[in-house]
Chain A
Amino acid sequence: MRPTDRHYLSSHEWIKISGDNAVIGITDFAVEELSSGNEGDLVYCDLPEVGRNLEESETFGEIESVKAVSDLNTPLPGEVVEINSAIEDHLEILSDDPWDRGWLIKIRLADKDTSKLLDAAAYEETLASHS
């Protein structure tokens, strides 16, 4: 079971809310899909500038492996207040710890309504239909 302290998108992003802010990352499944299990195959992550306002489900960046690329979408709207710049040079962090050290951006939430998002159980269900 994946962490229950956060919400998910079927496109494999997670969001963890604390107070007015939230941290966003991608799931272990996304990392595995992109890198086909070979962490050396993750090659590039493009994150937004601090201060950018993201609308609901807006694409804020991209992550690439050697032969795949995936958009990064925000589960909730808000202003980017911090990015995890360590990721850009050390993509292996994403394989090691996608849930904590592998966070991508922190936003100041413009809307905290999580009703459209998936909880961990619902996300697991979408994965089951994948394989």
Chain B
Amino acid sequence: MPFIQNTPDDQREMLAAVGVKSLDELFEGIPAELRLKGPLAVAAGISEDSLWKELKQLASWNSSGAGGSFLGAGMYRHYYPQVVDALQGRQEFVTAYTPYQPEAGQGTLTAFFEFQTMIAELCGLEVANASMYDGCSAAAEAVIMAANLTRKRRRVVVSRGVHPHTRRTLKTYLEWTGLECIEVPLGEDGKTKWADLVDADCCALLVQSPNTLGVIEDTSAAAKLARDAGAISIQSVYPISLGLLKSPGEAGFDIAVGEGQSLGIPTACGGPSFGLFATKQSFVRKMPGRIVGQTEDSQGRRGFALTFQTREQHIRRAKATSNICTNNALMALRGAIYLAAAGAEGLREVASHSLAKAQYAAVEIESLGGFSLRHTSDACFNEFVVDCPVPAAEVNRAIDAAGMIGGFEIGRWYPELGPKALLLAFTELSSRDQIHSLLRAMDSCKSRIPVG
């Protein structure tokens, strides 16, 4: 049997030691009427080589867009150096448990400490935790933390530019908290039109920049709005963009959250990635998730351990700051290796290449005629909305026919943008050739415009 090493002889010996006659006898504590009578309705097992063949076939039913992909909308395909796979893939990292025994987990703990430092630096804030599940749940937990910090305030003000999955996750987490969640619309320029909702009853303001339409928000103004009202300000970030764009800390935010996928993690059909979470040191006691701290052993050697554990569910139980236990540690390790490989200069390079590709594509798309950018590319980072002359789904089909993965039909999330709106994303991996293939595919759609 795969993965089981006990031989029939081993089993006999062990059963005798236990004092039972059969494996079946070990389960006599389960009342007979509760025992399964026949075999499970599951297919018979297969060998490793058969499975490998099956996997290859299943994988071939998926398209990985080898000819190029312009799909972002929350997950982005960036290049990561091969050291990321090789180092993160080491079995000593992969097969270890949460380092509750610090002496046996200094590798993971040290890496988390470095991760926390790099995420805090990236966000321009003081401290970060050792990861959340993903960007959406990190944002929801940040809002709950803000409500706990501001006690009686009940209103959460959220920009409609925040990723719809984040907004839906937030709504789910807040369902029974008594907190009121108000969505603020985007203006014609694609930026959030903050109304007078950020007041003395507001506990949290949540904005995403660049937002889901790719538009860079006026983050300093949003943070100030919250600060003036005594509310907690939260920015959801696209970490790659922070190689160039103003950090949440510089803009004056109290908390930064974000989807960590772009930091060296493949898109993998939506996960696993990790959620990043950074804030001020004074808020640490209300922060969700694991935190690693530096300390010493009795000989004065530097060491690292999980700290502030009394916030967590295994100690504080019903009163914990969050129910999170398993986090996304290994993906955070990937993020740490990626950030260390890039350094500030490498990150800036990735960000500026991504921006350059988007700016180049924007000019070329507008010059096709029939296609126009909803917001000027000067307002955007690496992603923007294109208004197509035909339904976006049709444009995507043409891109698909050319062996590429098209953009996101953004009208599905923002009906107000209509069915012809297409969200296109560019990264350093979008080559000039790919962009021109994209342009040809888009151009070919013009001929399909119905006459009259």
In-complex A–B contact (CB below 8 Å): yes
Identify the A interface with B (CB < 8 A). Answer: 44, 64-69
Report the separation of the CA atoms of residues A67 and B310 in the bound assembly, to the nearest whole angstrom.
6
Chain A to chain B: the 4 pairs with minimum beta-carbon distance, closest first: A69-B310, A64-B310, A69-B316, A69-B315
Query: Which of B309, B310, B315 counts the most chain A CB atoms within 10 A?
Result: B310
Using Cβ atoms and an 8 Å threshold, which residues of chain A touch B315?
Answer: 67-69
CB distance from B122 to the nearest CB of A (A): 29
Using Cβ atoms and an 8 Å threshold, which residues of chain A touch B310?
Answer: 44, 64-69
Identify the B interface with A (CB < 8 A). Answer: 309-310, 315-316
Q: How many A-B residue pairs have CB under 8 A?
A: 13
Using Cβ atoms and an 8 Å threshold, which residues of chain A touch B316?
Answer: 69
CB distance from A116 to the nearest CB of B (A): 25
B100: nearest chain-A partner, CB-CB = A67
Using Cβ atoms and an 8 Å threshold, which residues of chain B touch A65?
Answer: 310
CB distance from A115 to the nearest CB of B (A): 30
Report the separation of the CA atoms of residues A69 and B318 in the bound assembly, to the nearest whole angstrom.
12
B320: nearest chain-A partner, CB-CB = A69
Query: Which of A44, A64, A65, A68 counts the most chain B CB atoms within 10 A?
Result: A64
Using Cβ atoms and an 8 Å threshold, which residues of chain B touch A68?
Answer: 310, 315
* Listed A/B pairs (13) with beta-carbon separation below 8 Å: A44-B310, A64-B310, A65-B310, A66-B309, A66-B310, A67-B309, A67-B310, A67-B315, A68-B310, A68-B315, A69-B310, A69-B315, A69-B316
B311: nearest chain-A partner, CB-CB = A69
Report the separation of the CA atoms of residues A67 and B102 in the bound assembly, to the nearest whole angstrom.
14
Report the separation of the CA atoms of residues A68 and B314 in the bound assembly, to the nearest whole angstrom.
10
Report the separation of the CA atoms of residues A68 and B315 in the bound assembly, to the nearest whole angstrom.
6
CB distance from A24 to the nearest CB of B (A): 21
Using Cβ atoms and an 8 Å threshold, which residues of chain B touch A67?
Answer: 309-310, 315
CB distance from B238 to the nearest CB of A (A): 36
Report the separation of the CA atoms of residues A69 and B314 in the bound assembly, to the nearest whole angstrom.
11
CB distance from B51 to the nearest CB of A (A): 43
Q: A66-B309, A67-B309, A67-B310 are in contact. List 10 more A-B contacts (CB 8 A).
A: A44-B310, A64-B310, A65-B310, A66-B310, A67-B315, A68-B310, A68-B315, A69-B310, A69-B315, A69-B316
Using Cβ atoms and an 8 Å threshold, which residues of chain B touch A44?
Answer: 310
CB distance from A45 to the nearest CB of B (A): 12
Using Cβ atoms and an 8 Å threshold, which residues of chain B touch A69?
Answer: 310, 315-316
Report the separation of the CA atoms of residues A92 and B315 in the bound assembly, to the nearest whole angstrom.
22
CB distance from B282 to the nearest CB of A (A): 14
CB distance from A22 to the nearest CB of B (A): 27
CB distance from A75 to the nearest CB of B (A): 21
CB distance from A41 to the nearest CB of B (A): 11
Using Cβ atoms and an 8 Å threshold, which residues of chain A touch B309?
Answer: 66-67
A69: nearest chain-B partner, CB-CB = B310
Report the separation of the CA atoms of residues A65 and B315 in the bound assembly, to the nearest whole angstrom.
11
A64: nearest chain-B partner, CB-CB = B310
Report the separation of the CA atoms of residues A65 and B309 in the bound assembly, to the nearest whole angstrom.
10
CB distance from A35 to the nearest CB of B (A): 13
B309: nearest chain-A partner, CB-CB = A67
Report the separation of the CA atoms of residues A118 and B383 in the bound assembly, to the nearest whole angstrom.
68
CB distance from A55 to the nearest CB of B (A): 18
CB distance from A100 to the nearest CB of B (A): 27
Report the separation of the CA atoms of residues A80 and B316 in the bound assembly, to the nearest whole angstrom.
26
Report the separation of the CA atoms of residues A66 and B309 in the bound assembly, to the nearest whole angstrom.
7
Query: Which of A44, A65, A68, A69 counts the most chain B CB atoms within 10 A?
Result: A69
Report the separation of the CA atoms of residues A64 and B310 in the bound assembly, to the nearest whole angstrom.
7
Using Cβ atoms and an 8 Å threshold, which residues of chain B touch A66?
Answer: 309-310
CB distance from A66 to the nearest CB of B (A): 7
Report the separation of the CA atoms of residues A64 and B316 in the bound assembly, to the nearest whole angstrom.
10
CB distance from B313 to the nearest CB of A (A): 12
CB distance from B59 to the nearest CB of A (A): 45
